Amino acid sequence: AQADKGTYPFYMLKEIDEQPNVMRKLSQVYLNDAGDPIINDDLLTALKAADRLYIVAAGTSYHAGLVGAKLFESLANVPTEVHVSSEFAYNQPLLSSHPFFIFLTQSGETADSREVLLNVNDQHFPSLTITNVPNSTLSREATYTLLLHAGPEIAVASTKAYTAQIALQAILAKALGVAVDQPAATAFDVKQQLALVANGMQSLVDEKATFEKIAKGALLNTPNAFYIGRGFDYAVSLETALKLKEISYVQAEGFASGELKHGTIALIEKDTPVIGIITQKNTAGLTRSNLQEVAARGAKTVTIVTDSLAKDGDTVILPTVDERLTALLSVVPGQLLAYYTSLNKGLDVDKPRNLAKSVTVE
């Protein structure tokens, strides 16, 4: 059944607002009262047997995979690769001896991802589909399924499915890490952190007027824009740039902030928007220097910074959570900036040109 838009002008805004509850729902479904993950034993056994994880996905789900890989590596100490489905399908890289495949797909119907799953099944490798749609094709055809419980996502531009995919991967990485006795996983209180994330998301979505103002000031009349960051922040830069491209038709790029100076900085002109995401202590100073470099060339800089790392003059302050989960908060301003840019251009936010919610052709 199609969800009701209620009083919202567009589904996208409703779905952005639903994110705090999606975090709480995942916590309820996948964590017990003590905060321990509730994950099927067979799935955990299969994950433990793997020497490497391969996350395969398209679009926004691919971006959620980039964050997930860092979670599996840091919490469960298992090497993890992330691949774009349409590439992997016809250019399969050399695999480790015991690969395990994780398909991230909101719809469970993406043809590019299904093509990879068919190949994986032919090779008899174990797989997990993480999807929002029960009984979807990829959920039926994989060895295991975990559901996102995000509720129907109607807007073409994905928001709550992205944050749900990251939160569920965090829970799964914690479960695997505990199962293989990784101290980082044992010490990671995912239940408490997801509760902090949910509250943090709520405080961000309650600041809509602020994001509309930033969108109008920096993004409404620009032909292009850059989002920059390092590590987790780079992964979120890619996703927030995609959001802006999809619904506002601004040419936007997510960039590793240190790489900008190796070529792309040539594109910076007076008033080019450069949005810096800063949530990681070890690279905060470096990204700040990169922002100064572009500001010196005329860029209009916007900063999205974790409270504990904030300085005078920062534009958006994010509540502090565990550094491994900051993507769940730093993406929200990017979603809202894209939304308000599209809205103020008078575009159809939910149904951008040339795009489909679920792409069932390769």
Closest CA to 331 of 151, 162, 106, 173: 162
Piece of the chain touching ligand G6P by CB under 6 A; list 93-101, 220-228, 285-293, 353-361: 353-361
Residue 266 identity (one-letter amino acid): A
Q: Which is nearer to ligand G6P, 72 or 162 (CB)?
A: 162
| Phi, psi (deg, nearest 5) at residue 70 | -65, -35
Q: How crowded is residue 183: how many other Cβ atoms within 10 Å of its Cβ? A: 10
C-alpha–C-alpha distance, residues 310 and 82, integer Å: 31
Kindly calculate the radius of gyration of the chain based on its CA atoms and give it in whole angstroms.
Answer: 20
Q: Which of 27, 74, 86, 158 binds ligand G6P (CB under 6 A)?
A: 158
Is residue 272 within the footprint of ligand G6P (CB under 6 A)?
A: no
- Cα separation of 296 and 10, whole Å? 38
Considering only 113, 129, 145, 303, the residue that binds ligand G6P (CB under 6 A) is 113
Nearer to ligand G6P, 106 or 248 (CB): 106
User: Which one of residues 19, 27, 60, 137 is an interface residue with ligand G6P (CB under 6 A)?
Assistant: 60
Residue 45 phi, psi (nearest 5): -65, -45
CB nearer ligand G6P, residue 112 or residue 314: 112
Contact flag: residue 105 with ligand G6P (CB under 6 A): yes
Q: How many residues does this entry show for the chain?
A: 362
Residue from 50, 58, 171, 214 that binds ligand G6P (CB under 6 A)? 58
Measured from the CB of residue 252, what is the shortest distance to ligand G6P in angstroms? 15
* Both structure tokens of 109: 């119907």
- For residues 329 and 307, the answer to whether their CB atoms sit within 8 Å is no
At 31, the amino acid letter reads L
Per CB under 6 A, does 59 bind ligand G6P?
A: yes
- Which is closer to ligand G6P, CB of 297 or CB of 357? 357
Between CA 212 and CA 228 the distance in angstroms is: 20
Among 58-66, 88-96, 172-180, 253-261, the segment contacting ligand G6P (CB under 6 A) = 58-66
342 is a contact residue toward ligand G6P (CB under 6 A): no
**Total residues binding ligand G6P (CB under 6 A):** 16
Where on the chain is the footprint of ligand G6P (CB under 6 A)? 58-61, 105-107, 110, 113, 156, 158, 355-359
